[in-house]
Amino acid sequence: MTSNRSEIIAEVNAALEQYLPPETTYPPEIHRAVRYSVFAGGKRLRPLLTLAAAEIFSVPRQHALPAACAIEMIHTYSLIHDDLPAMDNDDYRRGRPANHKVFGEALAILAGDALLTLAFEIVATQAAAYFPAETVVALQREISRASGMAGMIGGQVVDILSEGKPAEAEILDYIHRHKTGALFRCCLRCGALMGQATPAELAALTAFADKVGLAFQIVDDILDITGTASELGKQTGSDVNRQKMTYPALYGLQQAQEKTDSLLEEALLLLEPFGTAAAGLAALARQLVRRRR
Amino acid sequence: MTSNRSEIIAEVNAALEQYLPPETTYPPEIHRAVRYSVFAGGKRLRPLLTLAAAEIFSVPRQHALPAACAIEMIHTYSLIHDDLPAMDNDDYRRGRPANHKVFGEALAILAGDALLTLAFEIVATQAAAYFPAETVVALQREISRASGMAGMIGGQVVDILSEGKPAEAEILDYIHRHKTGALFRCCLRCGALMGQATPAELAALTAFADKVGLAFQIVDDILDITGTASELGKQTGSDVNRQKMTYPALYGLQQAQEKTDSLLEEALLLLEPFGTAAAGLAALARQLVRRRR
């Protein structure tokens, strides 16, 4: 990778700035609400993953940015809706009041709807400027499936329905693989699709995504227990308080930590056939799994 | 038109049945919630409009069904979210309890999200079986723009924000053109895009959609005042009670009625260049504007 992480994040933010209508666009309330959450200091992990996967195939970053930002929009919409009182009822997100606390529930629901819709518009308009129509349709297929009932939404449904119930390994696994895993997988697969990857390459990156995605989620759950509110910018221990099923709750902190290490190792092995082209993606995976906040 | 309206509606319902995963699909709660609202006795006006527009260009109905059903899914999601307590707070829809009354707010929010997402998946997978990828991308562009912040969502935002305020003609017009009009327009334009319409034909059908869409909304508002609950299957007078801005509230019933007649006449004139190929669409427009419920 010739650019470092903060430079790439700046490019992602600039692209999002360009794709989102200005706050003054009528009706301004919805544009303010959407921008509040999109520019709330997110770590841009999904765009970084998408761009790092595309980089393996020498896709110019400019070309990969629309799909990368579309996935970030879908991630952001899911956070806005998850925080709603009827869902997880979280008042804080990334150290700031949640969208619905600032703009009210109605606008928060609509801001989520708007970001989900805009994600598909950005692919149909911006990605279409760089890729053949067949690739654009493949991206839409990938993104819609990953974020739908067989993917992210399915995970959130099971998460909501299992709150307050005793943790079961099978259910926990389903939630991880769908709520977080499906979109992680989508990032890697979209990068590969933009790079015209072979079926074998696509399969390797899919398996890589599944391992890193699960490790990432477990780290998240560990940090929810061990972290402090100021480090994480949100209430900690909230999962425990609500009896949410998490990996460390089910297996203990020690075993959860070991699991993340072995998942990372397995994931990195899958990148070996790509050689140095995957160095950026490998470095990113290490950062995600070894993060402390 | 060789088929009558109820035959076409049966085809639309069969296609929706095919596109929606069975209720037994895990997690079943979300599939039940989605199907509850999709099969709640909707009149399928948007699919009918899409198919009638496609018919002008001799697009086989089978080919036009995915886009037609995708738009119906987006319409249905918007109703589910609009009915939520934080939004219009309606307990009834089409004579049955609203989605959130049956499944709870969390599942209703997720069911709406799921239908919006599925709409784009159906276009990317099912419409892609019949049309060149360029046409599929054009459909995605059209549908995402029509249902986003510059379209339907923008209309709902202004509608929500203007509740309880005195009616203003300019705001009322914006709400009509966006909340209902944008998706009506999308139906006609998608039909035209699937039919490889010329720019002049596309422009004519867009203007047609705007006139019929406005007339349709005014009829809706008139019926809200004059209809009975049993005829409409929902609470009537509800707009008046909430001081919602409507055309008859602003101009009176008589003038509102005359407006629908003149809009229909202007719309039908726009179809003349298409000759008998547009007979089905013309008949549909007459039914929509002259309906009594």
What pLDDT is stored for residue A8 in this prediction? 97
What pLDDT is stored for residue B167 in this prediction? 72
Nearest CA to B285 out of B115, B128, B52, B63 is that of: B52
Scanning every residue of chain B, which has its alpha carbon at the shortest distance from the alpha carbon of A78?
B113
Give all domains of chain A, ordered by start, each with its CATH number: 5-290 (1.10.600.10)
pLDDT tens per residue across span A18-44:
999 999 999 999 999 999 999 999 999
**Packed helices A105-125 and A133-147: angle between N→C axes, nearest 10 degrees:** 150
The ipTM assigned to this model is 0.93
Higher pLDDT, B226 or B198: B198
* pLDDT of chain A, 293 residues: tens digit per residue: 457 899 999 999 999 999 999 999 999 999 999 999 999 999 999 999 999 999 999 999 999 999 999 999 999 999 999 999 999 999 999 889 999 999 999 999 999 999 999 999 999 999 999 999 999 999 999 999 999 999 999 999 999 999 888 778 889 889 989 998 999 999 999 999 999 999 999 999 999 999 999 899 889 889 988 875 555 555 555 555 555 667 888 889 999 999 999 999 999 999 999 999 999 999 999 999 988 76
* Chain A residues with CB-CB distance to B159 below 8 A: none
3-state secondary structure chain B: CCCCHHHHHHHHHHHHHHHCCCCCCCCHHHHHHHHHHHCCCCCCHHHHHHHHHHHHCCCCHHHHHHHHHHHHHHHHHHHHHHHCCCCCCCCEECCEECHHHHHCHHHHHHHHHHHHHHHHHHHHHCHHHCCCHHHHHHHHHHHHHHHCCCCHHHHHHHHHHCCCCCCCHHHHHHHHHHHHHHHHHHHHHHHHHHCCCCHHHHHHHHHHHHHHHHHHHHHHHHHHHHCCHHHHCCCCCHHHHCCCCCHHHHHCHHHHHHHHHHHHHHHHHHHHHHHHHHHHHHHHHHHHHHCCC
If one counts every other C-beta atom within 10 angstroms of the C-beta of residue B240, the result is 14
Q: For residue B14, which amino acid is it?
A: A
**Packed helices B133-147 and B105-125: angle between N→C axes, nearest 10 degrees:** 150
Scanning every residue of chain B, which has its alpha carbon at the shortest distance from the alpha carbon of A20?
B149
* Chain A residues with CB-CB distance to B29 below 8 A: 157, 161
pLDDT tens per residue across span B246-292:
788 888 999 999 999 999 999 999 999 999 999 999 999 999 998 87
pLDDT tens per residue across span B22-73:
999 999 999 999 999 999 999 999 999 999 999 999 999 999 999 999 999 9
Q: Is B157 within 8 Å of A128 when comparing Cβ atoms?
A: no
Query: What proportion of chain B, given as a percentage, has pLDDT over 70?
Result: 93
> A93 - beta bridge partners?
A96
* Chain A residues with CB-CB distance to B157 below 8 A: 27, 29-30, 107, 110
Q: Is A30 within 8 Å of B104 when comparing Cβ atoms?
A: no
Scanning every residue of chain B, which has its alpha carbon at the shortest distance from the alpha carbon of A175?
B27
Question: How many residues in total does chain B contain?
Answer: 293
Scanning every residue of chain B, which has its alpha carbon at the shortest distance from the alpha carbon of A77?
B113
Q: Is B137 within 8 Å of A128 when comparing Cβ atoms?
A: yes
Give the span between the Cα atoms of B64 and A119, in whole angstroms. 24
Site from B71, B100, B109 to mutate, A interface, most A CB atoms within 10 angstroms: B109
* Chain A residues with CB-CB distance to B149 below 8 A: 21, 25, 30-31, 34, 114, 117-118
What pLDDT is stored for residue B124 in this prediction? 98
Give the span between the Cα atoms of B71 and B251, in whole angstroms. 31
pTM for the structure as a whole: 0.94
**Is the Cα dihedral A112, A117, A118, A123 positive or negative?**
positive
CA distance A114 to chain B (A): 6
